[in-house]
Amino acid sequence: MTPPRVDVVIPAWGDDPWLERSVDSVLASTGVDAAAIIVDNGNDPATIDRLGARPRVTVVRPGTNLGFAGGCNAGAAAARPTSDVVAFLNQDAILESGALAALAEVASRADVGIASASVRLADDPDLLNSAGNPVHFLGFCWSGAYGEPMADYQVEADVASAAGAAMAMRRTVWDAVGGFAEEYFAYHEDTEL
């Protein structure tokens, strides 16, 4: 079988020492045909130029900080027309080698709208940052299972909201929902989606 084509959008702002490792992890992903799309929301020009010279990396330079929501929209607009899955990743998130393939597999199912990754804490990868985000009936959202052991969340489960830090959906779903609401410059755009 042909591996799914997954375009990973990474909005980049500020001089973040993790950005290069984040892009490396996308390009090293196994089981997928992965490409990285970096949206330069105001990052170090030398870093962006260096990363943009790599194969399978596209740089989008809007000339202004579009925020997370606008940056993700601009990046998705630059995705390969033949991509099967569009994924979104924080600039300081590092993928394990098979994580993108697992996320794409779930996102590719007809009964799944958005697939949310299991996001772990960098300083203690045995603990979670998010196992999907719960949403209160008043609209409040938070990182579900924050600080809880990753081992307690080994079974796939439905979640109310995906964590924008690492999520994916079929390209057809992305096109149908029309992207992130850009009035959510940063924060809660994932919940609204």
pLDDT tens-digit readout, 96-114: 999 999 999 999 999 999 9
Q: Is the pLDDT of residue 191 over 80?
A: no
Mean pLDDT of the chain: 92
Which tokens hold the place of 50?
């260096």
pLDDT at residue 9 above 80? Answer: yes
* Residue 7 reports pLDDT greater than 90: yes
Band the pLDDT of 61: cuts 50, 70, 90.
very high
Tell me the C-alpha distance between 149 and 129, whole Å.
Answer: 10
Nearest residue to 69 (alpha-carbon basis) of 146, 183, 191, 150:
183
d(CA 37, CA 169): 16
Pairing label, strands 5-12, 33-40: parallel
